[in-house]
């Protein structure tokens, strides 16, 4: 199979949106069942779809800071995006987008409310002054693929469709949960790419921050961990090649946990940071 490219890949096709004629800021899309996990469509995939609507609405090309509140569980199938610009500046612009799906009676139900600030990542100065260091991972060929282990569906029954679209190789040190021996720590890390070989771009980083199994699994919890809020900061355009993603949870309390993600590119740059607040619904 030929390697897919940015613009011509499964991810691009499944996040495509169509402007509705005569209705500025309104876009139709069909959410693919290919990106579902457990009971819902993956939150990072939804964020990428929403960001496409904003990229088509704002003058700047790249997501820089994207905040999303997840309102109701999304289902595969038709959805509409309603985007509006909020403020347009010289180097940054901000907009909001709502993702809605038709309910049983035909009225639109809002699934996701996103506010995002866009910019031009290629125009940023080159200065880097960081103390952050990439996650230590075994070489990619020593990390088992997500389809090599019993995995997610043993922990929580449901869809694992998304795993067929990702090339995810977890560090064995944080993959004990997949063998029924969770490490007990709120950490997971691995190599991540798209299964069809498409290289990462800023839009794919929105997927990457929410693509690993939840830290809750490695903490030994079984259940669904729906995202309440997810904010992503895209810090640089990623270089081609596999990403390294590390997620951590420090505080599980009151039925909520935070999950922090950082994404590093093949050139050792920290290209995205995210934090989400998720609810722990024990099974």
Element at 276 (helix H, strand E):
strand 270-279
Looking only at the bridges linking them, the beta strands covering 243-248 and 166-170 are: unpaired
Stretch (H or E) spanning 34: none
- State the binding string over 136-175 for its own copies (x if CB under 8 A, else -): ----------------------------------------
Site string for its own copies, 81-120 (x = CB under 8 A): -----xx----x-x-x-------------x--x-xxx---
Report, in Å, the least distance between residue 163 CB and its own copies.
Answer: 27
| H or E segment to which residue 243 belongs | strand 243-248
- The nearer residue to its own copies, 121 or 207, going by C-beta atoms, is 121
Residues 190-219 within binding reach of its own copies (CB under 8 A): 219
Binding residue for its own copies, selected from 107, 130, 139, 180, defined by CB under 8 A: 130
Q: Name which position in 41, 80, 236, 245 contacts its own copies (CB under 8 A).
A: 236
Closer of 239 and 270 to its own copies (Cβ):
270
Between the alpha carbon of residue 195 and those of residues 9, 88, 147, 168, 178, the distances in Å are 10, 36, 12, 8, 20
**Residue (of 61, 55, 48, 65) closest to 11 by Cα position:** 48
**Which residues are CB-contacts of 278 (< 8 A; sequence separation ≥ 6)?**
214, 216, 225, 226, 227, 228, 256, 257, 258, 259
Contact residues: its own copies, CB under 8 A: 64-65, 67, 69, 71-72, 86-87, 92, 94, 96, 110, 113, 115-117, 121, 124-132, 185-186, 219, 228-229, 231, 233, 235-236, 250-256, 258, 269-270, 273, 275, 277
């Amino acid at each position: 199979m030929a390697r897919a490219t940015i613009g011509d890949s499964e991810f691009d096709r499944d996040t495509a949106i169509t402007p509705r004629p005569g209705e500025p800021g309104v876009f139709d899309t069909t959410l693919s069942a290919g990106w579902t996990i457990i009971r819902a469509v993956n939150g990072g995939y939804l964020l990428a779809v929403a960001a496409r609507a904003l990229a088509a609405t704002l003058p700047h090309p790249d997501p820089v800071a994207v905040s999303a509140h997840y309102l109701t569980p999304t289902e595969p199938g038709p959805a509409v995006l309603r985007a509006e610009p909020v403020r347009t500046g010289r180097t940054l612009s901000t907009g909001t987008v709502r993702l809605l799906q038709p309910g049983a009676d035909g009225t639109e139900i809002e699934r996701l409310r996103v506010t995002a600030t866009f910019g031009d990542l290629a125009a940023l100065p080159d200065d880097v002054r960081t103390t952050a260091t990439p996650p230590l991972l075994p070489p990619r060929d020593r990390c088992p693929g997500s389809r090599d282990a019993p995995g997610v569906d043993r922990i929580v029954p449901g869809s694992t469709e998304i795993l067929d679209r990702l090339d995810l190789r977890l560090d064995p040190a944080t993959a004990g949960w997949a063998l029924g021996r969770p490490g007990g720590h709120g950490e997971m890390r691995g190599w991540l790419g798209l299964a069809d070989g498409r290289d990462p771009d800023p839009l794919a980083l929105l997927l990457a921050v929410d693509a690993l199994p939840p830290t809750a699994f490695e903490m030994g919890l079984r259940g669904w961990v729906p995202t309440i809020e997810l904010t992503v900061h895209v810090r640089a355009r990623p270089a081609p090649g596999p990403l390294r993603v590390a997620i951590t949870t420090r505080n599980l309390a009151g039925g909520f946990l935070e999950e922090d993600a950082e994404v590093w590119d093949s050139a050792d740059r920290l290209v995205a940071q995210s934090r989400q607040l998720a609810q722990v619904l024990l099974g």
